[in-house]
A and B are shown apart, each in its own frame.
Chain A
Amino acid sequence: MPEPETRESWRLTGTYRSPVVTIDVRQIVGRASLMAASHIGRVALLLIEILRGLVEWRIWVPRAFEQAQNVGYGSLFVVMLTAAFAGAVTSLQAGYQFTGSIPIYYAAGVIVESIILELGPVLTALLLAGRIGARYAAELGSMRVTEQIDALESLGRNAVSFLIIPRVVAGTVMLPVLVVVADIVGITAGYLASKSSLGMTHADFVHGANFFFRPLDAWYSMIKSVAFGLAVTVVPCYLGLSTKQGAEGVGRSTTSAVVSASVLILFLDAVLTQLLLQ
């Protein structure tokens, strides 16, 4: 009987051959774009399923409330903390750059605008990508690999209305709410910082903020938030649902959920800024 090939015997007798790697760029690009296309296709199918499942509101509404509480309370503190620091730092930086002939109240405009237009939505969304994106992918992924999703379907239930819609709705509704909170906290922190270290008066700040702020900006911030809300929920849900191969697969889905949701947020940010701020 031949010796079983253990690690030891391999080390003693085996010859190590380095693998021959040929890199064909066309092949890599081709494969990657095929993969991307098939992911996009399946995310689109999931979106259609979500839209169709919305009629089953009796099922998803109560569950969405539960999820929303989770998302909201769970993320509130870290969102406020991040927004406070972002506001204060923006303020200090504006004070540092706006010296000389530029009137000081310009700084207030920069603080308010950059928080409402960019930092509030983007930082909050990135935080949620880590928090709820990871969570959704892990929950759904482990339900997938333990056949709980199959079990739900085997009982004639629609897994999309039971599991996906509540999560997507909760995230998409709560993200704008958290962004409003982040905006308020960020601006307050910016205001306090500019008062204490830039020597800006209350009147300066209000004047500067009003001078630059347009009501449209608030809408624009909300549109961004809703788009980000969809990104941080739909993508992780999709990746969670398509999990394969046990615990390792769940880990893989979780990581890629956070990474792809974050990248998608930055991408959408660029696209929406381009579209909306013409």
Chain B
Amino acid sequence: MIELKNVYKRFGEHVVLDGVDFVVQPGETVALLGPSGVGKSVLLKHINGLIHPDAGEVFVEGMDVRLLKRRELSRLRSQVGYVFQYGALFDSENVFENIRLGITDDEAAKDRAFCERRVVECLGLVNLPPDTAEKYPAELSGGMRKRVGIARAIAGQPMYLLYDEPTSGLDPVNASIIDSLVEKLRDELGVTSVVVTHDVRSAFQIANRIALLHEGKIRAEGNPEQLLAVEDEAVQRFLGRDLDITLAQLKRYRTHGSSL
């Protein structure tokens, strides 16, 4: 379980998070929406302690992330995969080494044969051919880098996954492959995920719950139906552009009885 309680964060004079309360139940996928620059990435980085709040508390599995010692924090982080918005691949290492660093179990990481199998497997999950492993990040396209970043985050089989715009910059086919991967990890392994996205449609498809970050606060949250029913102008404006599609989707869910 992930729990942010009344989190404040500012950079200089600029208040980014202004009292955020945010909960993710075990096994749940929550989509985090919000306009660009609102602080979605900042919020996500609070969860694995890359950024500490100025005030408020962040709990993961009941542990207060701010108070963890180095060793405990690193154990927690090996359970929390993080997909960076811009990939953040280690550019002096090839793809194989990048994904191998994602295998957070040290014993397993020493076993070369296991690593090779796991790297190919993870590349397959994000729809990349095995020979990508030999390449260096600079030799990959933007979308490939992004998918290697996802492969690296899932290589250690974490129980939590934090995705920062996993599908932005991907073609529709690969975007939907990643969407299904998120669903698959939840359904088969019970992974708890937070997905930051600008793609309202995919949010409605993969998430159990959607939260909208606006002006430093969670302005609205709930399942897709609840969110569409919110009579808040900011929320409606934000969902507006994709509303037609999402309403159509919603109808489909109603008739087919979806898991949402």
Residue positions of A touching B, CB distance < 8 A = 52, 143, 146-148, 150-158
Find the B residue at minimum CB distance from A49.
B70
Please pick, from B76, B77, B84, B156, the residue contacting A147 in the complex, using a CB distance under 8 A. Answer: B84
Instruction: Tell me whether A154 and B101 are in contact (CB under 8 A).
Output: no
Chain B, range 73-108, C-beta contacts under 8 Å to A: 73-78, 80-82, 84, 86, 88-91, 101-102, 104
Instruction: Tell me whether B90 and A151 are in contact (CB under 8 A).
Output: yes
Instruction: Tell me whether A156 and B88 are in contact (CB under 8 A).
Output: no
Given contacts A155-B102, A155-B156, A157-B101, contact A146 B88 (CB under 8 A): yes
Instruction: Tell me whether A148 and B80 are in contact (CB under 8 A).
Output: no
- Residue among A52, A146, A147, A158 with most chain B CB within 10 A: A147
The tally of CB-CB contacts under 8 A between chains A and B is 51
Instruction: Tell me whether A153 and B78 are in contact (CB under 8 A).
Output: no
Instruction: Tell me whether B88 and A147 are in contact (CB under 8 A).
Output: yes
Question: What residues on A are CB-neighbors of B74 within 8 Å?
Answer: 156-158
Closest 5 pairs (CB-CB, A-B):
A156-B78, A147-B88, A151-B88, A156-B77, A156-B74
Instruction: Tell me whether A155 and B78 are in contact (CB under 8 A).
Output: yes
Instruction: Tell me whether B102 and A148 are in contact (CB under 8 A).
Output: no
Instruction: Tell me whether A153 and B156 are in contact (CB under 8 A).
Output: no
Q: Is the interface of B mostly helix, strand, loop or mixed?
A: mixed
Tell whether B50 is near chain A: CB-to-CB under 8 Å.
yes
Distance of A155 Cα from B93 Cα, bound (Å):
15
Please pick, from A146, A148, A151, A157, the residue contacting B82 in the complex, using a CB distance under 8 A. Answer: A151
Distance of A155 Cα from B100 Cα, bound (Å):
11
Question: What residues on A are CB-neighbors of B77 within 8 Å?
Answer: 153-156
Find the A residue at minimum CB distance from B80.
A154
Tell whether B157 is near chain A: CB-to-CB under 8 Å.
no
Chain B, range 54-87, C-beta contacts under 8 Å to A: 70, 73-78, 80-82, 84, 86
Instruction: Tell me whether A156 and B75 are in contact (CB under 8 A).
Output: yes
Question: What residues on B are CB-neighbors of A152 within 8 Å?
Answer: 90, 101
Find the B residue at minimum CB distance from A151.
B88
Instruction: Tell me whether B84 and A150 are in contact (CB under 8 A).
Output: yes
Tell whether B205 is near chain A: CB-to-CB under 8 Å.
no
Instruction: Tell me whether A158 and B101 are in contact (CB under 8 A).
Output: no
